[in-house]
Every structure is written in structure tokens, then in C-alpha cells.
Structure 1
């Protein structure tokens, strides 16, 4: 079969490759002939070209890992993340501040044709109503500047998870308009509920009924593999004109929500 996605021989980084969507993404990229380099806090069992332990809460760890890898990078897959059950600042560090910092360190290693995709979440759907706060954080200089902003704006950060995902969405759209001038694309996905090891944390934090209400018309959770495929597509040669896109990967939830086919009272119910 022809290499229609263009990954044969491409040098790619996958964060969060230990489990879930990140592991599924790395597996698919290996099958497609990519040279896969994994970054994660936990060791992976996958046979990658290289693996580096990275703590996204620590910019020095990120800097050292990118410096160790060096060389040209063709694509970056930001799949690492923490759920609601961690402290808000820890979630912000991993889900947004560390992800942004890593991307900023990798971008200089990319040339025209490079691409970045990040996993956001349907949990960040409030971004369009919260753009002023999102833009304040996005405008901060570096990891330390962003962390300082979060510490001073605990009321806006809230529990951390939703706000971190809002910022991935807005940062992707904002930054994509800048990087495309160098021929580098940025996109992100909005997964619906997905059967990963983190799902128990989502059930604990929000209640299973509320999580189930976001399944939408498909009536089931997605698999990590079903989330990995759109990530791989967005960074592929077939998606050369797709930039700054926030792609729902939710079995029709967003469409059903927009057309009044989702029970909002069930979504808004608090865990009892």
C-alpha cells in the first residue's frame, strides 16, 4: 500500500505513550513506518526508536529531554494529560503549561511541513465564553510566567481540568496562525468519553452518569485506537491544508448538542 499518510521515515515525538490514547497513537505510527520517540513520566513497553522519561510539570526536565533528542522533528503528538482528581495546579502544569513549553522547544526543530496535534477535550467546551481569561494566560511568557498567572488567578483556574483544556483549544487556534507562516500546522482534537485507564478518575470526579451523558448518539465510549487515528490523520500529508482546527472526535455528540438532542439537565447534574 502506498504511504498516503506520509509517515515512512518521518521522525515524530509522542508524549503520554505509556497508556491510553498516547500509546495507541505511538503503536499506529510504528505500524505506518514512522521513527517514533516517546516522552512520558512512566516507562513504556513499546519498542520505540527512543524513550525519555519527562516530567511535564518541570520545564528543566522538558528542556533536557528535547536537547537530548535533538535533530529534526517532523511531527509532535501532545497526548499526555492529567485528570480532574489531581490538584488544580498540577493539572495546569501538565495539560497546558508543560504541553505549551514542550511544543515551544520542539518548534525550532521543525521545518516547513511540520505539524503538531494536541489532545484537548469536550470538557473544554466553555472556551468560547472564556476567551479573555484564556488569552491572558496564553500571553504569559514561558512556563514560569504561566504558573505565576495561574497562582494569582485561582478563581479562573478552578479545578484545573476544564480550564487547561480550554487553553489548549484557544492556544492552538491562536498559535496556528503564527506557525503556518513557517509552514508548520497546529491542530487539536476534542475526544468524547474514551475507555482509557483515566476513565475511573473521570467517574470519580464527575459521576458516571454525567460522563455517560457526553457519549452522544453513538451510545458508547470510544476506544484509544479510535482517538489515535484522527490525531495521526491531522499530522499527516493528507491534511496539509488543515490548520488551527478544533476537531470533535465524539461520535456525533457536538452535532447532537448543537441541534438540541442532548439532555442538558443530565450533563449539568452534580455527582451525588
Structure 2
């Protein structure tokens, strides 16, 4: 039972491994004995099996990185992301379009028992109010088609990019869960509470510190990257072998507090999107 999570000797890919949740995830996987291949726009100093600079805004960069890793891949951790301070189309490309393209490139390297986990956000909780729109977008075919869809809907749907990108991580995860499980591959995503990462100052400036603090209730503090890594590593582990298509709150009780009326949403409702980092 010493390797109950089943990562020893597994080949895994972590995007966004330079800092924050992605770095914490890669560190934990290394401690668990995994062979970790990292991807990021900025260089990582971790003792990885390999590291490749990748720009998720460039499909050729993604394709080259996955081809360079090659071989069998047991798990993919989609941890890279941009906050809403970047141009909306860049946010969409990194947070969803590039994430999807990376996953599609890795899938042929996976077999039964493979697992994918992505970081979504409480900022994407509006997905349930516009599933037809989300489904139209997530079922576009290919990177360029997804970008074209966003360009055609920048003002009325995409807007600042962050909320819509995270909505689509959630919807796409649930949609793909029903397809990939037939191949023995699982896909899930996490909903983090506000987390003390290098991007937190950007989130506080964009959404308002009071809004971010409201999303940290009832715990009353920001989570740590290591705490968030625990959730996403659990989802891709052997221990969670039947967990599939799940949107998994890693939020100190926020979602439960909302559902039972114990978290006051009035502050958050004054802004368009709650945030995490």
C-alpha cells in the first residue's frame, strides 16, 4: 500500500510547471516517483525528466513539444493559465483552446488507465446557464476553428476571456468524459478556491480584493498551491480509478456553503466573475 496513488514509474506531463499550482503539482509528482515531463512558457528549475518551452497560443509549439516527449503517457495535468489582465483572445488560447489542443495531441500516446486533469475555476460557474453556447464552442474542430469562433463572438460571449475560458474547461471535461471512458481513459477538472500564487495580485486588481476574499469563504483564507496540487494529483491517481467527468471542488467548502446558503454571494454578484489564481 506504499504506492496507493500509483505514480511510481508513471510517465506524466505537467503544463504550467514554472510556478503556482503547476509547479506544486510537478513537485508532488516527483516526490511520488513519477517521471515528470514539464511544459511552460518560462523555464522551470525543477529536476524534471524533460522540460520544453511551449506557447499554448501556438499550435505548432504544442505539437512539437508532445512529439519531443513521445512514448507512452500515463497522465496529463493541464495547469497552465492566464488571468483576465491579458488580451481576451490570448486568455482563450491558453486557458482552453491550447489546453484542448495539448490534450488532443497527448491522447494518442495514452492507453487504458490513462488520466487527464485540468484546472478550471469558480470563475467559470456560469456554464450551467448557457450550455448550448458552450457546447457549440467546445465541439469546434481544431485550433483554428476555435480561434475563429472566439473572434466572431468577442464582444457578446468571450468578453474578458477568463470566465468563458473556464466555463469551457468545465463543459468540455464533462462532455469528453462520456467519450474517453470507452477507451479506458478518464478526464476530470478541479475548481480551486482563491490560491496564493504569483497571479493573485492580478486577480485582486481585476476582480476586487473583496470579491476574491468572498470566494475564499467559509475557510477564511486563500489556499496554497500545494493544497491545490493534492486535489489534482488525487484525480489522476489509481486510487480515483472510476472517477470520471467530474468537476471537483478543491475549495475549503465554498461550493457547499453556497448550496446551503452559508456563503454570502452578494459581494461577488456585484462583479461579473469570481476569481481564483
Q: TM-score, normalised by structure 2?
A: 0.96
Separation of aligned partners in 1, 2:271 and 2:7: 44
The equivalent residue for 2:89 is 89
Are 2:263 and 1:259 aligned? no
The equivalent residue for 1:26 is 26
Shift of 1:267: 1.0
Give the superposed CA RMSD.
Answer: 0.9
Shift of 1:230: 0.9
The equivalent residue for 2:233 is 232
1:1-272, aligned counterparts within 5 Å? 2-154=2-154, 155-270=156-271
Separation of aligned partners in 2, 1:106 and 1:46: 22
Separation of aligned partners in 1, 2:268 and 2:15: 30
Task: Return structure 1 stretches of 4+ with deviation > 4 angstroms.
Answer: none
Q: TM-score, normalised by structure 1?
A: 0.98
Measured against aligned partners, the alpha-carbon deviations of 1:223-255 in whole angstroms (never above 9, x if no partner) come to: 000000011110000001100000011100001
Measured against aligned partners, the alpha-carbon deviations of 1:131-176 in whole angstroms (never above 9, x if no partner) come to: 1110011111111000000000111111100000000000000011
SS at match of 1:190: strand
Report the count of equivalent residues: 271
Separation of aligned partners in 2, 1:75 and 1:83: 25
Shift of 1:270: 4.3
Shift of 1:269: 2.5
Measured against aligned partners, the alpha-carbon deviations of 1:247-269 in whole angstroms (never above 9, x if no partner) come to: 01110000111111222221123
